[in-house]
Every structure is written in C-alpha cells, then in structure tokens.
C-alpha cells in the first residue's frame, strides 16, 4: 500500500503516512459496524466524575464530522428568499438596538450616581470582568471541542516509542517532561495539568485531566490544544499547524487573569473613593439638591425653606443637579397658575461653594426672565407661602 499524497510505501493497516502525515483512507466497513473512532473512544480516562465541560472535553469530536454551526446558519440564511433575509436583518438590527438601549440606560444611571469618568471606568471594567468570568471559558471550550484530538504520529509508534521520542526533545515552552502513567500510557506534563496519549483503533489521541481545585479549565483546554499542535509539528514539520499561535493564546489567557484581578481592584477602589468623596469631599449630586432644597433665601424668608415654599406653590415639583464646565447647578421644574393661566417654571440655582449658592435664572414657559421679573416671581412664590 502506498501513500496517495507522496507515494511513500506504507505498512498494512497504516492510519497515517509516516513521511508526510497524510491520513490514509480505510475501506468502508459493512453497514452496522461503527466506523467512527469518536463513537467508542474517550480522550481522557480520568473524567468519570467530571463537570459538564470535562465530560465534553473527554469526547473526541471531529471537525470534519461536525461542521461549524455558524457556517450552517449562514448557508441557511443565504438560501432564504429576499423577504426572509430582510426580515432576519430587521430582527438582528432590533436586537442590536435593544442591547444598545440597555447599555445606554446603564451608563445613564451610572452617570446619575457618579461622575462621567467614574461611570466609564465602572462600565468598561464590569463588562471585561463579566466577559472573562462568563464568556471566555465557554468560547475556549467550543474551540477545544472543534479542534481534532487526533495526533499525527508514525503508524508503528506506541506509548513507549512515543515517550522515548519526546523525552527531552518536545519544544513546548511549558513542558515539564514526559513519563509513563499508571496504565502504561504516555503522559505529557504541562504547566496546568497532565495530558495522556491514548492509542486505539490505529489512532493516537490526546486527552487532559481537569483540576477542580484550581478551576483553571480554560488554561487547561488551551494548553491541551497547544501541546497537541506542538506534538504534531514535532513529527510532521510540513503540516499546516501553528503551534506558536495556541501557545500565545495560552499566554494571553494568563495575562487576562492578572488584568481581571487588577481591573476588579481598580473598580473597587474607584467606587469606594467615589463613596468617600460623596460623604466627606464636599457637595455632590444628591447632597447638592438637598442642600439647596433645605436652605433659605433670606431676602424672602428666614424661616421657610426653599423646598417647603416651592412644594406649596408648584405642582409636579422636580429637582435635579448637573455640572457644566466644573460649575455645579441645581435645577427645579414645576407647573403653577400664573396670571390666570397654567405655566411651566424652571428655576436654576448656581452653587458657589460648599455653603453658598444663588438664583441663576428663572424661566416661564421656556422664556428666560430678566432680573426684575425674577424678583417679582420669587416674591409671588414666597407670598403664597405666607397666605396659605
């Protein structure tokens, strides 16, 4: 029997070419027999009590037998009529709009609670942490499942010859050596776990053992992919595998853990700092509103507070605060009958320092009043308080 790719003479029942690594097509078995190694092979014998990810990781999924679900969906989308494509496009845009609206609401709420720079830091940090904790692990699990577990080894190789071939020669940077396992299998020691090579049905596959205590499943899966590609490159340098790419992905995941820890620390520090500033650092948003509402305009009254007088005169009173160019303002809006007709009022207070403020502007139905009219309006408001 000869290799169809390079013409190299092969031994009987060879699964791969010992020269170029090409997979040898085996004649189809009669109907009723299982022709898929994945149906009877478990990549890792140490996963009986594993979690869901460990159970998934122990199965030999073949990329050739299981095409990408996104590719299938794209092909389905291409086969839709024009009206169907338009409908799905509209639904996708609506989903994106809904996500954008939710993000906008979150940012708006945070801007109400904190300053804009703090809200930006909190949103970015929270999003990154949530991605790392809830999404990154499952994205890696999907890549691990899609990546073939098969090792392209010379056809006559067994556990003993594999161990002697790799001992001291595997150039995986985090390799801690190779050894025999309890059942005589070849074990490759990595940085995060041990990886066993199982021989069955003419194929060698690499499985991994998950460490429940360390909870480093993502790093273990990335390392398993990297080691698999380093071993394939070791025996078949011409194969189109980029082992360094997966090792760099592993190093990036390591950096992410440090970044997430630092991000959480920074976020906690910023939030605590904002709370401390809100309590001890002077007038801020809610305290600014309270300080104006509970104060008095002594030129009109030395006993009644602004909040009491305004609540007595206006319907639907509303208070808010804002900062423009470093200057803090408190805005009051409400409605009242003024000169025999209902009108909308807006009174703006400018905060001068932690103890002083002044009336900056009075608007009636959106029209800013002059200084004389401001005094007339405020006088009427306070006179109504005393006439009650």
Q: How far apart are CA 250 and CA 223, in angstroms?
A: 6
What is the mean pLDDT of the segment spanning 107-127?
Answer: 63
Long-range (24+ apart) CB contacts under 8 A made by 265-272 are: 266/121, 266/125, 267/121, 267/122, 267/125, 267/126, 267/129, 270/118, 270/121, 270/122, 271/118, 271/122
| Spatial separation of the C-alpha atoms in residues 387 and 171, rounded to whole Å | 92
How would you label 277-305 residue by residue, b for 16+ Cβ within 10 Å and e otherwise? ebeeeebbbeebbebbbeeebeebbeebe
Residues 263 and 204: their CA atoms lie apart, in Å, by 42
Cα–Cα dist 205/36, whole Å:
14
Per the CB < 8 A criterion, the answer to whether 195 and 144 are in contact is: no
Query: What's the mean pLDDT in 185-209?
Result: 86
Distance CA 297, CA 284 (A): 21
Higher-pLDDT residue of 140 and 358 is: 358
Mean pLDDT of the chain: 75
> What pLDDT was estimated at residue 127?
74
- The stretch 195-215 carries a mean pLDDT of 77
Residue 276 pLDDT: 66
What is the model's pLDDT at position 42? Answer: 41
CA distances from 217 to 89, 144, 253, 257 (A): 36, 11, 11, 13
Per-residue pLDDT at 350: 92
Spatial separation of the C-alpha atoms in residues 37 and 59, rounded to whole Å? 10
> Percent of the chain beyond pLDDT 70?
69
pLDDT value for 334? 94
Q: In the numeric block, which tokens belong to residue 308?
A: 């009491």
Asked if the model's pLDDT at residue 26 lies above 70, the reply is: no
Domain ranges of the chain: 285-387
pTM here is 0.41
Residue 25 has pLDDT above 50, yes or no: yes
State CA 52 to chain mean position distance.
21
Helices (H) and strands (E) in the chain, counts: 12, 10
Q: Which range is least confidently modeled, 6-10, 31-35, 97-101, 350-354?
A: 31-35
pLDDT of 365-387, one tens digit each?
999 999 899 999 999 999 999 88
Per-residue pLDDT of 135-168, as tens digits, reads: 777 777 777 787 778 888 887 788 888 888 888 8
The mean-pLDDT minimum among 124-128, 228-232, 302-306 falls in 124-128
Which of 14-28, 51-65, 156-170, 184-198 is predicted with the least confidence, judged by mean pLDDT?
Answer: 51-65
pLDDT value for 9: 67
Separation CA 148–CA 23 (nearest Å) = 13
Q: What pLDDT, on a 0 to 100 scale, did the predictor assign at position 382?
A: 92
């Amino acid at each position: 029997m000869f290799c169809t790719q390079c013409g190299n003479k092969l031994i009987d029942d060879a699964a791969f070419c010992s020269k170029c690594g090409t997979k040898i097509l085996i004649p189809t078995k009669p109907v009723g027999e299982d022709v898929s190694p994945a149906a009877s092979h478990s990549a890792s014998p140490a996963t009986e009590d594993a979690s869901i990810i460990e159970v998934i990781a122990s199965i030999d999924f073949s990329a050739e037998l299981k095409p990408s679900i996104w590719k299938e969906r794209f092909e389905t989308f291409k086969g839709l009529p024009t009206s169907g494509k338009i409908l799905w496009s509209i639904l996708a845009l609506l989903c994106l709009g809904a996500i954008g609206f939710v993000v906008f609401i979150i940012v708006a709420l945070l801007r109400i609670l904190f300053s804009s720079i703090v809200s930006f830091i909190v949103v970015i940090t929270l999003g990154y942490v949530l991605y790392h904790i809830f999404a990154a692990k499952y994205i890696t699990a999907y890549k691990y499942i899609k990546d073939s577990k098969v090792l392209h080894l010379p056809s006559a190789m067994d556990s003993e010859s594999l161990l002697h071939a790799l001992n001291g020669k595997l150039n995986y940077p985090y390799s801690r050596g190779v050894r025999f396992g309890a059942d005589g299998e070849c074990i490759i020691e990595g940085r995060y776990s041990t990886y066993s090579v199982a021989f069955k049905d003419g194929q060698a596959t690499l499985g991994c053992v998950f460490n429940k205590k360390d909870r480093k499943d993502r790093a273990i899966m990335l390392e398993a992919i990297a080691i698999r590609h380093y071993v394939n490159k070791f025996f078949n340098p011409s194969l189109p595998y980029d082992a360094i790419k997966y090792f760099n992905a592993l190093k990036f995941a390591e950096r992410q853990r440090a970044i997430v820890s630092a991000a959480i620390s920074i976020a906690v520090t910023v939030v605590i700092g904002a709370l401390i500033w809100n309590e001890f650092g002077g007038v801020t948003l809610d305290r600014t509103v309270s300080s104006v509402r509970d104060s008095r305009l002594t030129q009109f009254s030395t006993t009644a507070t602004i909040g009491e007088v305004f609540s007595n005169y206006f319907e639907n009173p509303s208070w808010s605060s804002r900062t423009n160019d470093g200057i803090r303002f408190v805005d009051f809006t409400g409605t009242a009958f003024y000169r025999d007709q209902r009108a909308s009022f807006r009174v703006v207070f400018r905060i001068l320092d932690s103890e002083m403020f002044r009336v900056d502007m009075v608007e009636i139905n959106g029209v800013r009043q002059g200084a004389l009219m401001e005094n007339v309006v405020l006088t009427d408001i306070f006179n109504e308080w005393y006439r009650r």
